[in-house]
Structures are given as C-alpha cells and as structure tokens.
Amino acid sequence: MNQNSKEVSKVDNGSHHIIQSLIVNVVIVISKGFAAFMTGSGAMLAETIHSSADCANQLLLLLGVKQAKRPADAQHPFGYGKSVYFWSFMVAMLLFSIGGMFSIYEGIHKYNNPEPVHEIAWGIGVLLFAIALEGYATYSNIVELNKRKGSCSFFGYLRTTKDSDLIVIFGENSAAVLGLVLAIIALLVSYYTGDSRYDAIGSLAIGVVLILVAVFLAVEVKSLLIGESADSIILETIESITLKDPLIIEVLNCRTIQQGPGEVLVCVKIKCSPDLTTQSISQLINNFEQEIRTVHPEVKWLYVEPDFQEWKNSL
C-alpha cells in the first residue's frame, strides 16, 4: 500500500471506529437506562447520561469527518480539514458539561438525598455487559493506535498525533470503561453496606474522570485548531533532499501547518546556487516539490521560494 493509500485508509478507519463506538453506545444507553430505572442507582443514571452524551459526540465527529472531505473552494482555499478539529473540540466540551458536570451534580444530589439501591442484579449484569462492549471498542482503538504510532511511545503518540477523531474516540471509550468499573464498585459497596451515599460517591468519581478526560482532549485539540505544525518528519525529508541536491545550498526557512487529518501546508525558502538561470530555478523548484510530494503525499499545499541571501529571512 502506498503512502497516499495509507492516508485515505486512516480517514476511513477513523470513520469506522466512530460508527463502531456509536453502535456500541446506543445499545449501552438502552441497557443502562433500564438498569438505572430498576435499581434507582445514581451511578447508573450518571453512566446512562454519559453514554447518551457519547452518542451525541460520535454524531458530531461523523459530521466533522464528512465536512473535512469537502474540496477547497474560493472561500476556503485550504479546504475544510480543520472541521474535524472544531467538532472534536466541541465533543470535549460536551463531555465536560453534559457528562462530567451532570455526573457530579447527580452525585451531590444523591449524597444529600440518599435513596436505597435495589434490584442490584440488573445493575451488575448491565454494567458487565457494557464493560464487555466498551472494552472491545477500546481494544480496537488501541490496536489502531499501535499501528499508527510507529516507533513512538503509546502515550507520546497520544500527545503528538494529528488524528484528533481517533484520539477523542479512544478517550471516550477508555473513560467509559473506567467509569463502568467505578459504577460497579459503587453499586456493590452501597448495596452491601446499606449506605447509598457510596453510590453517590461513585457518581462523583465518574464525573471527575469524565472532566479530566475532557480537559486533556480539549488541550490537545485546541493546539490543532489554532494551527499546529505538521509532523517533524516532513522537515527531515526536506533537509535530506537539500543535502542531496548540489544546486540547493541550504534551507533558509520552513513552516508547516496541519490543515486537517492527512492535509499539510508547507512553505519553504531555500538558498540556491547564485549562478542559476530563471529556467534552471523553475526546474529546480519543480523537482524539489515532486520529491517532497512523492515521500509525503499528505502535503496538499507546497510553496517554495528561492533566495540567494546569506542571512535567513522569515517567510
């Protein structure tokens, strides 16, 4: 598979994981809602709201992926790739507000107004079922992340990757698994101690987990949304091409911006040999651009400026 096919595959896999998580969460919402009704558990209700928010989040991510595929036009000459980042940021905000804050509110309410939990078997059964589904979805995300990270460490990849949609899905799914474990613990402790305040504490803990994940996602996506540089390997490739070409003395300046998943803008200023003709410079730039795009087809926009100065000017 060539590099261009890999970039397309990454986008398609992103959509696949979003749809997979959406289907899983629809099933879980129904089962959790039924269990919350049967048990009267605040932690179960918090988990139901959490999964409902996840469904809305995944629909927003699908919208972002669809919008990102729109071709560039006069109003948006660099395309719509950053739509994915915008909707990913909105997902983080919804996870914080609807998921995290509501869970904390529900926990405080249940702690101040405790109600006994009952029919615990329904709750435990549904939670175990949900853990199996969410666990599978999370495992699938981890497998895909491991394919993409290359030699980078797993957590290092989470911090540096430009695939915001997959990171958001992984964050949601992993938070869901942890939240489900907390809900089971809270439900069991509350039932066997006869003190439903433990159930309320479980709801509070779930809220804290969701808020922490939401803050992490918001910070990571914000950097991409306002304009983050592309992977440093592109600059390394440019430097390598420069060293091989005797007509290029050095790279004076290089700026890259990630415009969306698999879409990069590159602006380069190169110092050329001073005895080149206009036609020679034109051919040099064409060859330079072709070499870069051969190695990195994700470079959708490439601007090369020749210079003969001894100092490094800013672009």
Residue with tokens 């509501």: 102
Query: What mean pLDDT comes out for the span 189-200?
Result: 87
For tokens 């051969």, name the residue.
294
Q: Give the whole-number percent of the chain exceeding pLDDT 70.
A: 93
How sure is the predictor about 296, in pLDDT bands with cuts at 50, 70 and 90?
Answer: very high
Residue 302, φ and ψ in degrees, nearest 5: -135, 120
* Cα–Cα nearest to 200, from 278, 110, 302: 110
Which residue in this structure is represented by tokens 């989040």? Answer: 57
Q: Please check the confidence at residue 315 and state whether its pLDDT lies above 60.
A: no
Measured CA angle at 86 (ends 104, 10), to 5 deg: 105
Question: What is the H or E stretch that residue 255 is in?
Answer: strand 248-260
Domains and CATH numbers, the chain: 3-226 (1.20.1510.10), 232-307 (3.30.70.1350)
Instruction: Kindly state the average pLDDT of the residues 51-77.
Output: 87
**Cα gap 131→125, rounded to integer Å:** 10
Residue 255 token pair: 């700026």
C-alpha to C-alpha distance for 9 and 3, rounded to whole angstroms: 10
What digits encode the pLDDT tens for the residues 143-159? 888 888 777 888 888 88
Residue 47 CB partners (closer than 8 Å, separation 6+)? 32, 36, 127, 130, 179, 180, 183, 206
User: Is residue 2 predicted with pLDDT exceeding 50?
Assistant: no
Mean pLDDT estimate for the chain: 84
Helical ranges in 95-151 per DSSP H: 102-112, 120-149
Confidence tier at 258 by pLDDT (50, 70, 90): very high
Q: What is the mean pLDDT of residues 100-116?
A: 84
pLDDT at 35 (0 to 100): 82
Burial class (CB in 10 A: 0-12, 13-18, 19+), 235: middle
Burial 271-292 (b: 16+ CB within 10 A, else e): bbeeeeeeeebeebbeebbebb
Give the lowest-confidence range in 94-103, 217-226, 267-276.
Answer: 94-103
What pLDDT, on the 0 to 100 scale, is given for residue 292? 94
The predicted model gives 179-202 an average pLDDT of: 88
